[in-house]
Structure 1
Amino acid sequence: MTESNRSIPASTATNFDVLVIGAGPAGAMAALRAADLGAQTALVTSAQFGGMAAHDGPVPVRTLARAARLISEARRLKEYGIKVGNPELDYPRLLARVREVVDDVVAHSSSREQLEMLGVSVIEHAGAVRFIDPHTVVTSAGLRLRADKIILCVGGVTRQLPVPGFELTSDHTSVFGATSAPDSMLVVGGGATAVQIASIFCAFGSRVHVFEAGPRILANEDDDVSAAIAAAFRKVGVAVTEDFGAIVSFEKTPTGVRMNFTKGGKQSSAAAAIAVAAIGRAADTRGLNLSSAGVLLDGRGFVKVDDYLQTSTPHILAAGDVTGRQMVVPSAIRDGFVAATNALRGASERASERIDVSASFTHPEYARAGLTEVEARREHDVLTSTVRFDSTMRTIIDGRKDGFCKLVVDRRTAKILGCHCVGELAGELAQTAAVAISAGMRVDELVRVQVAFPTYVGNLAYAAADAARQLELGVGNQHIGTRGDLYQNLRQWDDRRKIVEVAV
């Protein structure tokens, strides 16, 4: 037994109330919740604690995004009278910094400390885990674990395309581990991972071309957000090709790789030093032998669950990316909590009862909380209120005039249904809005909350005030009312181009 397995004596502690498979955000939360509810709990993972989020996802990616941001900031210092030389990227040192950050995050994980305090048996480096019956798993490291309840939190893997030459492409892991930033790059895919890769390597000096087969990049985001990010990319030289037909093949060239594809019924191609495939994720169920446990997969290969996260075998639940629901960390954490609660208390909490919040640290940033405008219009009579960043004081002071804050509001109740932001501190704005949405606040109630001045959160207050005015609700707040001239420019826009133009 390895040092990391020392908490599980082979002859004794192999039976548990709850067994959590996978130690990413969903798994860590599921184990914490189960132990907090008094269950004897084990958490087993084939690799290290932290999962993809810590080792291969948000933590390293955000570190690289931080470096990209610092380079961009350094290039603007002269605007404020600060003279410095042209910044140069030391890529090997940056990768060393990424490893330092990952190690630091894992070493100081509060989740790991809480798990140990609650008596959870954490089993790392257990190797492949597979079911031998609905209550029992064995690992390639020689462990046999049995539990009354089992929660699958095994995450996902990069999806593959069945086209010739796909093996010539890189994924985000390999491209982030390269020894230098490539001169040029094709990014295949237009989701969150794809646009982050594009934004980071554009800042690093690579020529980047993004290809999205659908009608727009960031298809899960509000229409105005995806349009603004595409426009912002094009402004800084990132080529964006949307709505092409299909990828035909990849082939090696003397200087890199070529992608052959169709667009408008015609054959076309694009070449670069590397091609990065970021076309989504598939469930990491390889080798689990789920059929022995009676667990069914859906048509896309994800573990099939109901709204209580129960699988086709009721005592086995699933949470996080393996379900294919919302493949982002906040949703995975929420799923872990819900799955553990329902495992021990019966089907009492629904996974859908949450406010989806996400943020991406591209340049410019974008973020959301709640429903998009299209989603909201399916069940609500909606109005929108949008504040452009070129009309507010803090963004002007900071030279961050590119962006907007958009609220989606129910006309009947005046409650906020969604918030969508592009620009500086977009994630902080959306997170603040999420609190208001969760609390069921009306826009006029949000306006009455005093906001420090000048701040970025003030843009949220301005958008709420404009929505309240559209609804003819008295805001009753002097510090908002004194800026009547500002609100002449904050009416709802029917022309999306006005939003897109200001976002770039």
Structure 2
Amino acid sequence: MARDEDRGGSKSRGKVIVVGGGPAGVQAALRASELGAEVTILESERLGGTAFNEGPAPVRALARAARLRSDATMFSEFGLEGEVPDVDFARAIDHANRVAAYANEVWHLTDLVKEQGIEVIDEVGPARFVDRTTLEIGDGRRFSGDRIILAVGGKPRKLSIPGSDLALSFHDLWDMKELPGRVTVVGGSATGCQLASILIDFGAQVDVIEFADRLTPPSDADISRRLKAAFEKRGMNVLTGTGCDSIERKDGRLKVSFTHGEETSSLETDAVFLMVGWPADVSGLDLGAAGVEMDGPFIKVDECLRTTVPEILVAGDANGVSMFVQSAAHQARVAARNAVLESQDVYDPQAIATGSFTEPEYGSVGMTEAQALERHDCYIEVIDYTALPRAVMDARTDGFCKIIVDKESRKLLGAHVLGSYSAEVIQVAATCIAADMTVQDIAELELAFPTFTEALGMAAQRISRKMRMNGAEDRG
């Protein structure tokens, strides 16, 4: 049942300006409107943001095409005959772009938002602050509000190296018509690994240069290790602990110079993508005019998502707190309540499920093994997919499922999976954490057979057996 303070009504609870029309902006606008505020969204392009127009939606479509081609290499293993299909890269990009347009052309996202009584000012270029409660757009119109929610997202970071202007960004992918013969991806975190995986499955030679000592540095170390092994098995050149020094043109190609330890070397390639970060997109916003402070590459916020100016809040990638679409939507709802009701709700996520569109996929929730061992006495169990019936049936045994359980509370602290359907499997682990289930509870779930999700239950059952053998299950 809704609380009285959550109900809207005919009386306005003030004016809210939302800057940015991606998942965070749309969610913030809708929630603020539900709470009774008068709401205006200012969007430089069209509603949907990077998530729909250039991010997860079209990337997943491109990854699907790459996966279909990769699956064709396994035909003979299943008694099938046929050639691995050729790639019409331009058509694959066109399909991804059609998916990107889905939110507006099929869902009619802009119309849906307007139908909720929200004023949408879109495709007007960037807005800039005039003062702490007023913004101006390119045509000179000004918009003032009692509260402002910034949902401006991020933009590709550039490296301060010679020749960085020769490199492509994530945005350039959607205008490409031909698949380069060799591609070098600088940056081996989630986005860089996704792009590298897609391009190698399409048939390009791929190099990955990552400054950290492993791929996907925030991930559990076993995911990093196994993902690198899988990439190298497919012929990818993975250079970790390596810094990119410069890019230059050479005989119609690009020369990438890099340093690994004390050694300097180079490689020649046809295209370079920089995937080295996603700072807040505050260009042209003139935060100084409003008195809003930055915290490194992000807008500084407190635990309630308020900036150094109380009237201004931030939701989504621009604050750097948790840079996922699902987090952006959650933050947006928190920010909207705090803006409209002047409450002190804290953004405190308990279980953020994350997944990647690499081949193989990987997914995580909660603490990594290293993080958990710093603060807890743990049970750790790994199910290798060579022992998982569904993986054997699908000939996809190059994966694993790891769960981490606190010995005292018997609660799940974290889960990490690599292999087919990882992004789906990890949702169940996240649900178990959110539901505060014990490992015994998870062990007793009657999960469908044969599935990849079954690995979670198998791991929980193994830990439960260990607890019974140690007499721990009967204590407490």
TM-score category (smaller protein): over 0.9
Question: 1:267 aligned to 261, 264, 270, which one?
Answer: 264
**Per-residue CA shift, 1:337-380, capped at 9, x if unaligned?**
11112222334322233312110010000011112112222332
Q: State the distance in 2 between where 1:466 and 1:120 align.
A: 53
Residue aligned with 1:471, SS: helix
Moved more, 420-429 or 85-94: 85-94
Q: State the distance in 2 between where 1:437 and 1:111 align.
A: 33
Once the two structures are TM-superposed, the CA of residue 460 in structure 1 deviates from its matched residue by 1.0
Identify the residue that residue 199 of structure 1 maps to in structure 2: 197
Residue aligned with 2:294, SS: coil
Identify the residue that residue 403 of structure 1 maps to in structure 2: 399
Question: 1:166 aligned to 164, 167, 170, which one?
Answer: 164
Q: Do 1:414 and 1:471's aligned partners in 2 also have CA atoms closer than 8 Å?
A: no
TM alignment of 1:164-313, pairs within 5 A: 164-244=162-242, 246-298=243-295, 300-313=296-309
Q: Look up the equivalent residue of 2:407 and give its one-letter code.
A: R
Q: Do 2:97 and 2:174's aligned partners in 1 also have CA atoms closer than 8 Å?
A: no
Q: State the distance in 2 between where 1:424 and 1:400 align.
A: 7
**Per-residue CA shift, 1:122-159, capped at 9, x if unaligned?**
22112220111111111003321111111000011110
Q: Do 1:23 and 1:51's aligned partners in 2 also have CA atoms closer than 8 Å?
A: yes
Q: Look up the equivalent residue of 1:290 and give its one-letter code.
A: L
Identify the residue that residue 455 of structure 1 maps to in structure 2: 451
Q: State the distance in 2 between where 1:289 and 1:178 align.
A: 33
**Residue identity (%):** 37
Question: 1:137 aligned to 135, 138, 155, which one?
Answer: 135
Q: State the distance in 2 between where 1:176 and 1:111 align.
A: 21
In the superposition, relative to structure 1, how do residues 474 and 378 fare at CA in structure 2: closer, same or farther (>3 Å)?
closer
Identify the residue that residue 3 of structure 2 maps to in structure 1: none
In the superposition, relative to structure 1, how do residues 110 and 359 fare at CA in structure 2: closer, same or farther (>3 Å)?
farther
Note the residue ranges of structure 1 that are not aligned, 5 or more in a row.
1-14, 476-504
Once the two structures are TM-superposed, the CA of residue 112 in structure 1 deviates from its matched residue by 4.7
**Per-residue CA shift, 1:304-329, capped at 9, x if unaligned?**
00111010001100011111222221
**Per-residue CA shift, 1:25-74, capped at 9, x if unaligned?**
11111112111212111111011100111111111111110110010112
Identify the residue that residue 108 of structure 1 maps to in structure 2: 106
Q: Look up the equivalent residue of 1:236 and give its one-letter code.
A: R
Q: Do 2:313 and 2:339's aligned partners in 1 also have CA atoms closer than 8 Å?
A: yes
Q: Look up the equivalent residue of 1:185 and give its one-letter code.
A: V
Is the aligned partner of 1:466 residue 2:466? no
Identify the residue that residue 3 of structure 1 maps to in structure 2: none
Identify the residue that residue 425 of structure 1 maps to in structure 2: 421
Once the two structures are TM-superposed, the CA of residue 111 in structure 1 deviates from its matched residue by 5.8
Moved more, 67-76 or 102-111: 102-111
**Per-residue CA shift, 1:391-448, capped at 9, x if unaligned?**
0111111111110111111111110111100001101111111001001100101122
Q: Do 1:190 and 1:210's aligned partners in 2 also have CA atoms closer than 8 Å?
A: yes
Q: Look up the equivalent residue of 2:424 and give its one-letter code.
A: E
Residue aligned with 1:472, SS: helix
Q: State the distance in 2 between where 1:24 and 1:369 align.
A: 24
Identify the residue that residue 52 of structure 1 maps to in structure 2: 50
Q: State the distance in 1 between where 2:467 and 2:16 align.
A: 51
Q: CA RMSD in A?
A: 1.8
Q: Do 2:128 and 2:135's aligned partners in 1 also have CA atoms closer than 8 Å?
A: yes
Identify the residue that residue 494 of structure 1 maps to in structure 2: none
Q: State the distance in 2 between where 1:117 and 1:369 align.
A: 36
Moved more, 417-426 or 392-401: 392-401
Question: 1:414 aligned to 410, 413, 420, which one?
Answer: 410
In the superposition, relative to structure 1, how do residues 378 and 341 fare at CA in structure 2: closer, same or farther (>3 Å)?
farther
Residue aligned with 1:65, SS: helix
**Per-residue CA shift, 1:273-292, capped at 9, x if unaligned?**
11111001111111111111
In the superposition, relative to structure 1, how do residues 469 and 141 fare at CA in structure 2: closer, same or farther (>3 Å)?
farther
Identify the residue that residue 10 of structure 2 maps to in structure 1: none
Q: State the distance in 2 between where 1:330 and 1:139 align.
A: 29
Q: Do 2:47 and 2:109's aligned partners in 1 also have CA atoms closer than 8 Å?
A: no
Q: State the distance in 2 between where 1:347 and 1:79 align.
A: 60
Q: Do 1:369 and 1:434's aligned partners in 2 also have CA atoms closer than 8 Å?
A: yes
Identify the residue that residue 9 of structure 1 maps to in structure 2: none
Q: State the distance in 2 between where 1:375 and 1:350 align.
A: 23
Residue aligned with 2:414, SS: strand
In the superposition, relative to structure 1, how do residues 373 and 345 fare at CA in structure 2: closer, same or farther (>3 Å)?
farther
Is the aligned partner of 1:436 residue 2:432? yes
Once the two structures are TM-superposed, the CA of residue 84 in structure 1 deviates from its matched residue by 2.0
Once the two structures are TM-superposed, the CA of residue 247 in structure 1 deviates from its matched residue by 2.7
Residue aligned with 2:410, SS: coil
Q: Do 2:69 and 2:84's aligned partners in 1 also have CA atoms closer than 8 Å?
A: no
Residue aligned with 1:446, SS: helix
Q: Look up the equivalent residue of 2:265 and give its one-letter code.
A: S
In the superposition, relative to structure 1, how do residues 201 and 327 fare at CA in structure 2: closer, same or farther (>3 Å)?
same
Q: Do 2:103 and 2:109's aligned partners in 1 also have CA atoms closer than 8 Å?
A: no
Residue aligned with 1:283, SS: coil
Q: What is the TM-score when the length of structure 2 is the normalising length?
A: 0.93
Q: State the distance in 2 between where 1:435 and 1:36 align.
A: 27
Q: State the distance in 2 between where 1:263 and 1:181 align.
A: 28
Identify the residue that residue 483 of structure 1 maps to in structure 2: none
TM alignment of 1:245-394, pairs within 5 A: 246-298=243-295, 300-394=296-390
Q: Do 1:130 and 1:138's aligned partners in 2 also have CA atoms closer than 8 Å?
A: yes
Once the two structures are TM-superposed, the CA of residue 109 in structure 1 deviates from its matched residue by 3.6
Q: Look up the equivalent residue of 2:388 and give its one-letter code.
A: T
Q: State the distance in 2 between where 1:473 and 1:448 align.
A: 17
Q: State the distance in 2 between where 1:176 and 1:199 align.
A: 16
Q: State the distance in 1 between where 2:104 and 2:464 align.
A: 45
Once the two structures are TM-superposed, the CA of residue 185 in structure 1 deviates from its matched residue by 1.0
Q: Do 1:255 and 1:272's aligned partners in 2 also have CA atoms closer than 8 Å?
A: no
Moved more, 374-383 or 465-474: 465-474
Residue aligned with 2:155, SS: strand
Q: Look up the equivalent residue of 1:116 and give its one-letter code.
A: K
Q: Look up the equivalent residue of 2:32 and give its one-letter code.
A: A
Identify the residue that residue 7 of structure 2 maps to in structure 1: none
Identify the residue that residue 27 of structure 1 maps to in structure 2: 25
TM alignment of 1:138-153, pairs within 5 A: 138-153=136-151
Moved more, 138-147 or 376-385: 376-385
Residue aligned with 1:234, SS: helix
Q: Do 1:444 and 1:473's aligned partners in 2 also have CA atoms closer than 8 Å?
A: no
Once the two structures are TM-superposed, the CA of residue 78 in structure 1 deviates from its matched residue by 2.5
Q: State the distance in 1 between where 2:56 and 2:252 align.
A: 31
